[in-house]
Amino acid sequence: MHTTLRDTLELTAEKYPNKDALIYPRRDQRWTYAEFDEKANRLANALADLGIEKGDRVSTMLHNGTEIVATVFACAKLGAVFNPLNYRLPAGEVEYILDDADSQALVFEGGTTEAVANARPNLETVEEYLYIDDDGPDWSRDFYALLEAADDSRPDTVVAEDDIYAFIYTSGTTGRPKGVVHEHRDMVEHNLICIGEEGIHRDDVGLSAFPLYHCAELQAALFPRIHVGATSVIHHDFDPVRALQAIDEHGVTVFFAAPTGWNGLVQAAQEVDADVSSLRLGMYGAAPMPEEVLDGCMDLFDAGYLQAYGMTEIGPCGTFQYPEDQVDKQGSAGLPALNHDLRLVEPDADPDRVVDRGAVGEILFAGPCTMREYWNRPEATAESLREGDGRTWYYTGDLGYRDDDGYLYVVDRKDDMIISGGENVYPTEVEDALYAHEDVVEAAVVGEPHEEWGERVVAYIVGDTTAETLEEYTLATDDLANFKRPRAYYFVDELPKNPSGKVQKFKLREGEDVDPEAAEP
């Protein structure tokens, strides 16, 4: 059995040595699989020469590029633990994660130097800093010089399927991030699921424009392509105009984006002359696709669309909504992924307390890609991973229901549910109704403390409209019960989001990073 990430690259390089593996226009790099494998060997040996051993943590604070891809596979070859950080994090959060992960080395770039430099005096364990750009700080080493000088032979480290592949820190939609511990076998199993469900072929060309430090782009898009020998075009960051041009130039066939990204492509297409007919599969996740955005995508691209629902802790894909279900099951998260079991239970209840079909319950998964644990968080691990019926169940904290055909519909986060006057209000339902208004660009609904009702429903709106207009609209629509209507609107320039596109509602509730113009109808 070939059950490590190291195996996936090495076997592909053996089969397709001269095939394009990675294309990185920003540095004018084009690596074949043989070259990619060699560079991963070189970087692994360079890290070993610096004292990095099996089990040591190697962190990155990088935008997309060949450097982050080489680093994750160098770690896989060495048996080191890959730990990618969000390149937008401020120094305090960088310090928190690196210390929590007990990181020994950090790879960074010009755009993240300030945060790294400010965190560095307080870091307890990082000894080596590798800089990928020119003229790095005097306390850093030249990434490419080390790469060039290192031995290109395969490291002789023994890497097993149950060795840790990575600490992937959660994106913090509810507070402090937690380190999700994944093993090599988890990722190989996840690759096979995605290859089968998504229909990834060796002749595909994928575009990685969303962050590769995030599990969706890295583990559900890039890894499966490498596993089968497809080509990956890498963009330093997401720009809808450049993404459309790349689809044209490179004949991109598969692309993943959050719904906000797909909406950006639809809007940008009006000003870009690009042939996008090569795209055959558009993947999305992180949030439901609004019907209006999906309609715009279907008008622009002659492609099928595939939604994945899940979270970092399970790989991340737990269900898939297939192209043929996009219209008939619009709003659904789809059916369980291969080898995954799905249950809905009373919130926080034992796995056997399954709710009736159609009733709302907490979503649980049991599958082969589930994390080992939360690093240094035994209580959080015990709360999220529970045994039942001979399986380990992951408690997602999401609420949902299944229709008569077994399709999952995610209602909301358990922590986001609003109880107003004794009635349960699911913010997603209110947001969907608001999105249907032509002047609403984005909407986020949260509960606000209220003396009489306990909580009242309030909405944060991005768009050119007024509270009076939205009040009139919500009163007229048949899609929203009266008690679910927002009692106040906050108009903002943008909503706080994590890199996967999810709105960080805890910041709205706590008043962080928002400067709203308030209005009551």
Task: Quick: pLDDT tens for 19-54.
Answer: 999 999 999 999 999 999 999 999 999 999 999 999
In the numeric block, the tokens 């072929």 are attached to 201
Answer for the pair 257, 265: CB distance below 8 angstroms, yes or no: yes
Mean per-residue pLDDT, 230-258:
97
What are the pLDDT digits (tens) for 90-139?
898 899 999 999 999 999 999 999 999 999 999 999 999 999 999 999 99
CA-CA-CA-CA torsion sign (440, 361, 332, 308): positive
Around Cβ 356, how many Cβ atoms within 10 Å? Answer: 9
Count CA atoms closer than 13 A to 136's CA, side-chain side.
19
Among candidate residues 68, 9, 91, the one with its CA nearest the CA of residue 235:
68
Q: Which of 285, 214, 274 is nearest to 246 (CA)?
A: 274
Domain boundaries, the chain: 5-237, 417-519
* Contact (Cβ atoms closer than 8 angstroms) between residue 220 and residue 192: no
Q: Which CATH architecture has domain 417-519?
A: 2-Layer Sandwich (3.30)
Q: Predicted confidence band at 265 (pLDDT cuts at 50, 70, 90)?
A: very high
So what's the pLDDT on residue 177?
84
In CATH, which of 3.40.50.2000, 3.40.50.720, 3.40.50.300, 3.40.50.12780 is domain 5-237? 3.40.50.12780
| pLDDT band, very low/low/confident/very high, at 420 (cuts 50, 70, 90) | confident
The runs of H, that is alpha helices, within 22-161 are 33-49, 66-78, 91-101, 113-119, 143-149
Select from 28, 211, 29, 62 the least CA-distant residue to 131. Answer: 62
pLDDT at residue 197, as a whole number: 82
Query: Three-state SS across 225-281?
Result: HHHHCCEEEECCCCCHHHHHHHHHHHCCCEEEECHHHHHHHHHHHHHCCCCCCCCCE
Using alpha carbons only, what angle is made at residue 346 by residues 509 and 286, rounded to the nearest 5 degrees? 50
The first and second tokens of residue 375, run together, are: 């690093």
pLDDT bucket at 199, cuts 50 / 70 / 90: confident
pLDDT in tens, 64-98: 999 999 999 999 999 999 999 999 888 988 999 99
d(CA 311, CA 95): 24
Residue partners of 176: CB distance under 8 A and separation at least 6: 96
Residue 204 to residues 73, 190, 211, 253, 369, Cα–Cα distance (Å): 21, 18, 20, 6, 24
pTM: 0.86
Amino acid residing at 7: D
pLDDT of residue 215: 93
Distance of CA 124 to the CA centre of its chain: 28
DSSP state of 209: -
Q: Is 172 exposed, middle or buried (0-12, 13-18, 19+ CB in 10 A)?
A: middle
Q: Which residues are CB-neighbours of 359 under 8 A, at least 6 positions away?
A: 344, 401
Residue pointed to by tokens 């007024």: 466
User: Which amino acid, residue 291?
Assistant: E
**Locus of tokens 């209000």:** 425
**Residue 319 to residue 123: CA distance in whole angstroms:** 39
Question: Does the structure show a pLDDT above 90 at 521?
Answer: no
Over the chain, what is the mean pLDDT? Answer: 93
Q: What is the rounded end-to-end Cα distance, in angstroms, of the chain?
A: 63
Query: How much is the pLDDT for 158?
Result: 96
Mean pLDDT of 224-237: 98
